[in-house]
Structure 1
Amino acid sequence: MASNEIRLTQHVAASPAKVWAVLTDLDNAQQTLSGVSRVERVSGEGYAAGTRWRETRKMFGREATEEMWVAEVEPERRTVVKAHSSGTDYTTAFTLVSAGEGTDLTMVFSAETGSSLLLKIMMKLFGGIGMKATTKAMTQDLRDIATRAENN
């Protein structure tokens, strides 16, 4: 399997509890995250392992919708969200660490493609472009989460 990973950290001038509340508020995600145009809950209530939703974002000039689910939850400390699309497994882990008067929020995104030759070639050809766009979107998501947590 081919794998790519992005790791970003944003300091948030808010407690881990406030950051967690924003991070896990799926029903208001489209108001928090400027890159998200729509969120549709598929199953589950609140935020717990197994909760599923469809998230629509604009990428490369067009809207794309992916179904995502919560894979792991350690309240106010860590959560893992997963998705699967076009032969690729996506994992996003968020870790919250108390830092002085605030919180360091770290987001680690990884994409693992299947073992087919076509998928490997596609990742080689387009992986860099995709990872650059994903890094930009992740950076904005972290800023948006910080802004909401700091202003609540």
Structure 2
Amino acid sequence: MTRTTMTRTIDAPLEDVFNTVADISQYSEAVPHIVKIEFLTESKTGVGTRFRETRLMKGKEAATELEVTEYVENDRVRMVADSHGTVWDSLFTVRSENGKTNLTLIMEARAYKFLPRLMNPLIKGMVAKAVGMDMDMVKAHCENQQK
């Protein structure tokens, strides 16, 4: 298993930051390399919501199906994907501090096939860089909403 943790301090209300990461429609507005969202359930937010997210990665489209498995409003949201022999478990949490919002993401990659067990530790830096860019875009999006 590999684990990546990162935090951004965002000059925006906690509710706005939470809604940006917990509502995939808003998240896709904040992260422009998400080029398409297809909901696979009637629900658009909350536990049980399933969707297919298509991103541009190195000039190519890559689709991943995710499910919201935990949702506590204005506190945390967990999204899980099972892709190419790895379960990707992403937990976003929000906390208020000194009038700003700390957004933390803990992403765990649990490989259950042989090749991903070898490869995931090797690509951890690349994944962390991509996730960090997403977090930076969420921060910029939320802060620009305040202007």
TM-score, normalised to structure 1, is: 0.87
Alignment match, 2:90: 92
Structure 2 residue aligned with 1:59, among 52, 57, 60? 57
Distance 2:62 2:78 in 1: 21
Distance 2:35 2:71 in 1: 25
Q: How does 1:127-138 map to 2 (within 5 A)?
A: 127-138=120-131
Distance 1:19 1:11 in 2: 10
> Residues 45 and 121 of structure 1: is their aligned pair in 2 closer, same or farther, counting only changes over 3 Å?
closer
Q: How does 1:40-55 map to 2 (within 5 A)?
A: 40-55=38-53
Asked if the contact 1:27–1:41 (Cα under 8 Å) also holds between the matched residues in 2, the reply is no
Structure 2 residue aligned with 1:145, among 101, 124, 138? 138
1:29-66 CA distance string (max 9 Å, x none)? 33210331211111132311000110112335432101
Question: Do structure 1's residue 123 and structure 2's residue 121 form an aligned pair?
Answer: no
User: Identity of counterpart residues, as a percentage?
Assistant: 25
Letter in 1 for 2:52: R
> Residues 121 and 25 of structure 1: is their aligned pair in 2 closer, same or farther, counting only changes over 3 Å?
closer
Structure 1 residue aligned with 2:103, among 96, 105, 127? 105
Letter in 2 for 1:130: I
TM-score, normalised to structure 2, is: 0.89
Q: Aligned-pair distance for 1:144? A: 1.2
Structure 2 unpaired stretches of 5+: none
Q: Aligned-pair distance for 1:133? A: 2.0
Asked if the contact 2:27–2:138 (Cα under 8 Å) also holds between the matched residues in 1, the reply is no
Asked if the contact 1:36–1:55 (Cα under 8 Å) also holds between the matched residues in 2, the reply is yes
Alignment match, 1:73: 71
Greater shift, 140-149 or 25-34, is seen at 25-34
Asked if the contact 1:79–1:95 (Cα under 8 Å) also holds between the matched residues in 2, the reply is yes
Letter in 2 for 1:123: R
Count of residues paired in the alignment? 145
